[in-house]
Structure formats: C-alpha cells, structure tokens
Chains A and B, each alone.
Chain A
Amino acid sequence: MRVQIGMSTQQTLLIFLASLALLSAVAFLLGRTKASQARDNGQHMHSQPGEYGQFAAVAVALPALLAGGVLVVLETFGVLELAAGLPAWVGVGAAALGMVYGLRRIEPELRARNQVETVIRWLLIAASLVSILTTLGIVVSILFEAIRFFRLVSLWEFITGTEWSPDAVFAGGQGQFGAVPLFAGTFMITGIAMAVALPIGLLSAIFMSEYASPAVRTAAKPVLEVLAGIPTVVYGFFAAITISPYVVALAEFIGLDASYKNALAPGVVMGIMIIPIISSLSDDVISAVPNSLREGALALGSTQAETIRHVVVPAALPGIISAALLGVSRALGETMIVVMAASLRPNLTANPLEDMTTVTVRIVDALTGDQAFDSAETLSAFALGLVLFVVTLSLNLVSTVLVRRFRQKYE
C-alpha cells in the first residue's frame, strides 16, 4: 500500500509533467494554426482559433492525466503490479492519441469553447471536492484509529476512568486510560480562559461600537487584530516564561502554594488570545442592532448604559453567545499554550494553582514519543482527537445556527 517516494519517482513525475506540458503546447499551436487557416479560407468557425487550440491542448492533457492517475491509484491500492514508470508511459501514449483525436476534431461545427468550458467547470467541481475529502479524511482517519483504540480499552473506562497512565504498558502492567482528569484539566483551563476573554472581549466590543469615537475605533481595531495574529507558540513561551513565575510569586504573596506548571498561567494567556475572537464577532453583531432600538430606549428616558444593558445586548445576545461558543471551541482545541505552559501530569483537582494536563497536551505527548504506531498510547491520541473533534464540531454547529437565526431577524 505504500508508495516509495524515491528520487527516481520524483524524476519520472517531473519528466512526465514536462513532456505533457510540451505536448499540450504543441497541440495548442497546431490546433490554433489549423483553425485560423480554416478561417482564412473563408469558413465560418463556431469559436475563436485560440479556443480550438485550447481544445486540442485539453484533448492532450486530460486523457494523459486520467490514464496515469488511474494506474497510480490502482497500484497504490495494490490492485495491479506495474513496472516502474509504466503509468508515465501509458500517460504519454494517451497524450499522443489525444493529440491526434483533438486535431482531427477541429472543424467549423465543433463547439470548442463550450467543450473547453465544460472541462473547466468539472475542474472547478473537482477542486471544491477537496474540502469535502478533507472532512472525510479527518473523520475516517480519526474514527478508524479510535476504533482500534477502543478494541484495546473499553469506551466506558475511557469516559469514566479517573486514572490516565499509559506508560504502565512499558512497565509490563496494564496502561490506565481513564480520560476524566484530562477532560477536567481541559475544562478548567478553558473556564479560566473564558473568564478572562468574555468580559474583556465583550466590554471592549461594547466600548468600540457604542462609545468610541471613529478615531479611537480605527486605532483600537488593528491592535486587537494584532493580538489575534500572534502565533500560539509565542503565547505559550510567554505563558511559561513570564506569566507563570508571576502567578507563583503572587500565590506565595497571599500565602498559597502554586506549581510552576499551574493551570492559571496558560488559562489567562489563552483568554488573552481569545479576546479578539469575542470582541470582533460581538462588535459585528452589536453594530448590526438597528439604531431605532437604541433611539427608542433613549427616548423613553433610559441612560446610555441602561440602553446597552437592557436593549442592545439582549438584541445581540444570540450573536454574542455564538461568539462565546466559538471562543470555547478555540480554547478546547488550543495546543501550543498548554503544551508549553501546562503540565503533563494528569491531575484531578479543582485548584487552578496545581499542575493539570489537557486533552491536547496528551495528544502531542503520545505522538511525539518513540512508541510504535499501533501501541495503545499512540492510538489513544486518536481517541482523544475524536472527542475533541466531535465537541468542537457541535459547538461550531450550534454557533452557526444561532448566528443564522439572529441574522434573519433584522433582514
């Protein structure tokens, strides 16, 4: 099932593509010449000469790529055993046949433009299938490996077990795969992040859309955008090197004991990362609330704050909730910050000053080690990935539905 990408395969591919390009170019020129000669002889042609050239070029490239591609796919799946380089030769052969066919077909009645555009249309459809295939690939690959994992470990143990110690496999004993401490850590850090991001993000959005002068607004928006553009690995470094020691010092100051890998530091930094998500989406929905609502409330004598709190925010609430859900989904799936600043140790606790681990940390840990690919620990990464995928997908779907409902209301 494996394709060996050796130097020879690469070279064959390059030579094949180069010769294909050359043949197509020749076909284009010949086709165009034939068509323009026919036109010069006074025949009425359906399309422009260049379009006949394109038709000939497509007649060369399409069968060649199809024939070569089908053979490579068949070989990849082990249906056929082929000599090295055979698909390329078959492809070139198909190209030559296509050239003969394409040039012979060039006649005044041939609707070359329509033919070429049908091909283009199919190319576009094929391109849009890639995104479907990506989703399918995610679902299939994760599901497949997760099922292999659940053959080794029962689903029930995975969801309800409170001990996660996959390394025990190497000590000769049985590894424990109870994911509850990982879920707890993930929710703890997500909770801290949202406690930071939601108030700051929402209030910033309110300030920008309700109070700020256009000048402040145009200055503040890019600042928040910069916050969104900082790579997560940078946030992770910042959380681990700068914020974590502050948290420990602060905890010591008020007489508490904090670990250097505490959950608070990555949580707070993750919250800062999520601020722009909340603020920009909330800004959009708050700005979309019609002014008549504000004017109505103000005319009845409410103060500006009361208008915002009792009229504008409730009107924008579905959008705000959907922004919050997207923020939660980002926090759940965030990896680098927790990999760098949170701990590896599964720890079931309610104290954010202790070290805790998350789902994403264990996924990275399981896949960057030296374990064999079918060991239970490696497979557990896919089971965790499946949970993460399902949860974030549901959050996104709910959020999309909310936004859509809300939009319809004012349009």
Chain B
Amino acid sequence: MENREQAVKRRLTRRHRASRWFRRISGLALLLAVAFLMFFFYDIISTGWSAFRQAEIQVPVSYTEEVMEIPAMAVPEAYEELVSRGWIRLLPRQMRENPDLLGTERREWVVASAPVDQYLKGRYATLDDEQRALVDQLQASDQVRLGFNTGFFTHGDSKIPEISGIWAALVGSILVITVTFLISFPIGVMTAIYLHEFADDNWFTQAIEVNINNLAAVPSIIFGLLGLAIFINFFGLPRSSALVGGLTLALMTLPIIIISTRAALAAVPDSIREAALGVGTSKWRMVRDHVLPLSLPGILTGTIIGIAQAMGETAPLLIVGMIAYIPDAPSSFTEATTVLPAQIFTWAGMPERAYTSRTAAGIIVLLAVLLTLNATAVYLRRRFERRW
C-alpha cells in the first residue's frame, strides 16, 4: 500500500511539474512575440535614426561665368567630392534665377556628399585618405556639421542619396488614400446598411455576405491583377496614377469597412429601432436619424483601420505600376505617382549604402503615421464605446 501511495505522489509531482512547465512555455511564447517586436523597433530605429541628420559642409563658393557651363568649378577642387552632386547640379539654375550672384564669392553651408555623411556617422565610406584628412581638418575647425535633415521631408526621390526625400511619396500617399476613402467609405457603409437593416435573408443576401467574407481574405496581390486588367487595360485609365492605385486599394478596403460597419450596426440594440418605428418613422429615417449616429464611432474606427491598412499596402500598387521614379510631387490624380511604402521598396533595392538608413527613416515615418491612425481608432473606440 505504501508503495502505491508513493507512486501516486511521484506521479502527482511529475504532473504538477509538467503543468508548471506548460505555463512557462506558453508565457515564453508570448514573451517571444513581445521581444521580437522590441527587437524590430530597436533595429529599425537604430538603422534609420541617423538619416534624420544630414552632413553639411561649409565651402567657399565662387559664382563665376564658368560655373554656368561647368557647375563643379564653383568649389575648390579638393572639395568637389565632398559636396553633394545634387547641389552642384542646381547651381546654374540658381544663378539664372539670381543674376546678382554672378561674380560674387562667399562661404556657404551646403549639403555634403553621401560618403562624407557616412564617414561622419562612423560608417564605411568611399573616401580616400586625403579626403578623410580634409574632412577631419574641417571638422576640427567646425566647418562640417550634422544638422537636422529637412531635405528628407521636402525633397522628392533622387538618384543621389543625400538629396532624396519622401515629400513626393507623402503627397502621393495622400492622393491615393483620398481616392480610396472617397470610394470605399460611402459604398462600404451603404452596403453594410443594406445588408443589416434592409435586406431580407434570402439567397441573394447570403451570396453577398459569403462573397464579402471571402474578399476580405483574398491576397492583396490579386487585387493588383484586377486593377491591371480592369482599370488599366480595359478602361484605359493612366498607369501608375493615384486614381488607379486608389481605386485598386478601395476594392481591397471595401470588405474591411463593410464588416466593421455591420458589427457597429449590430451593436445598436433593437429597442432603439423598435421605438423609432413605433412612433411612425419610416425605415430609412430610423436608420439615418437613430441607428447611424449611434454606430458612427464604430464605423469610423473600422474605416480608420481599413485606411491604415491600405496606406501600408504595396503589392497591388507594384502591379499597377506605382514604382515609377517620381522626383516631383504629383499635382493631379492622373499623373504618375508613388506612395510611401513603394518609395521604401524602391530605396530598399538601391545598391548605395546611404539608402539603407533612408529606407529605415522612411519606415519610421510610415510606422509613425500608421500607429497614430491606429491609436486614434483605439481612442475613438474607447471614448465612444457604449454598452447597452
């Protein structure tokens, strides 16, 4: 008997130990997911942070006649590799716009070239010893500095890393999202209202519902194929334009908005509908004056989440041609446009190392926008959520 009791006790200890281990392992899994997120943010921020600062260099600039022909003549030869080619290239235009500059000579702070920038940030740089020595010497006399990189927010894309920026992509993203919102929000809300408030439960309604749920899970790249075949090849809308990109993303966002709007409508208790109908309002007025206002926070939350998702989407936009090289911000919906995620993709594929930190900086901006949107959605939900 003694033996058996001991065996049971032993087994019990083992089982309890196994139980504790299971708890630890499942906690570890959650910890792993959280740790990954931390590492991810650390990695992206540490890679991208330096791109918000840009090396500038003080050089003597002489605006002579020759500069109009050979812009590089404006700076002493030793500095030629140290200042940005993008700045040098703009000199003739600057001189044409300000004729007074001709014949003057002055010291100016100008954008330094990418190798100087990388060198100052302590990374591998393609400078020879002489150039290094010069930069060191300039640094000692405070003629080289790392300043806030305003150009990153005000320039468009460029093949010269130090003067490339996200402005064009930001404007493009706003244009595309405007189209997406204008199409998907009204149609999505109207569909949800019809399905939840008006439709009878018949095969037609059920077909629409199954269809919407499936659309929500279709891979985004398939929407790109649809956009290419229908909007571009069939309707002949301009390739790479904000219009086509926005329409494609609108079809992708539509199911998300419909599903969340339906959930918001379903959360409004029937007593409110019955009260409205009971005093003789028509069905549409009941929806417009009572159900919709009450479910509006929920609808907006779902819409913001859908729009945020569309804003981070890249794959379908690649298919409809939105990876064009766009140096200037687009000014209409039919011009060739790029968006922030597509710009990140383009930069990620650039061979120059200077683009790596710019890519990560672009990612930081994108994540900041998306997290703000999502936080707004969560705030809306918390602030206006009503339990009935």
> Could you tell me which A residues sit within 8 Å of B by CB distance?
1-5, 10, 76, 113-114, 117, 120-121, 123-125, 127-128, 130-132, 134-135, 137-138, 141-142, 144-145, 199-204, 206-208, 210-212, 220, 222-227, 229-234, 236-238, 240-242, 272, 275, 279, 303-306, 308-309, 326, 329-330, 332-336, 339-340, 360, 363-364, 367-368, 373, 381-382, 385, 388-389, 392-393, 396-397, 400
Contacts and interface: CB of A to CB of B under 8 A. Distances in A.
Contact of B33 (A76, A138, A223): A223
Contacts of A113: 282
Interface stretch (B91-99, B127-135, B143-151, B365-373): B365-373
A129 to B, nearest CB: 8
Interface residues of B, number: 94
A184 B291 CA distance: 51
A223 B230 CA distance: 38
Sorted nearest first, the 10 A-B pairs with minimum C-beta distance are A333-B219, A231-B312, A141-B229, A203-B29, A127-B190, A2-B236, A124-B194, A305-B22, A335-B315, A303-B19
A5 B236 contact: yes
Contact of B15 (A134, A203, A303): A303
Interface of B: 15-16, 18-23, 25-30, 32-34, 36-37, 40, 43-44, 47, 186-187, 190-191, 193-195, 198-199, 207-208, 210-215, 217-226, 228-230, 233-238, 251, 254-255, 258, 282-284, 308-309, 311-315, 318-319, 321, 323, 334, 341-342, 344-345, 348-349, 356, 359-360, 363, 366-367, 370-371, 374, 378
Given A203-B28, A233-B312, A237-B363, 18 more contacts: A128-B195, A128-B199, A138-B226, A141-B229, A144-B229, A200-B29, A203-B26, A207-B23, A211-B26, A222-B378, A229-B308, A229-B374, A230-B367, A333-B222, A336-B315, A367-B225, A367-B319, A368-B318
A160 B179 CA distance: 42
Contact of A333 (B22, B221, B314, B356): B221
Given A120-B284, A135-B214, A340 B208 contact: no
Contacts of B47: 241-242
Is chain B's interface secondary structure helix, strand, loop, or mixed overall?
helix
A130 B344 contact: no
A306 B15 contact: yes
6 contacts: A114-B282, A204-B26, A207-B29, A233-B314, A233-B341, A308-B22
Nearest to A359: B221
A11 B80 CA distance: 50
A363 B224 CA distance: 10
A130 B187 contact: yes
Contacts of A305: 18-23
A158 to B, nearest CB: 17
A130 B254 contact: yes
B230 A141 contact: yes
B214 A393 contact: yes
Contacts of A202: 29
A117 B22 contact: no
A364 B315 contact: yes
B29 A385 contact: no
B331 to A, nearest CB: 13
A238 B283 contact: no
Given A141-B226, A236-B348, A238-B40, A360 B315 contact: yes
A229 B371 contact: yes
Contact of B344 (A206, A211, A237): A237
Nearest to B342: A233
A381 B227 CA distance: 14
Contacts of B349: 340
Nearest to B212: A131
Given A363-B221, A367-B319, A237 B312 contact: no
A306 B14 CA distance: 12
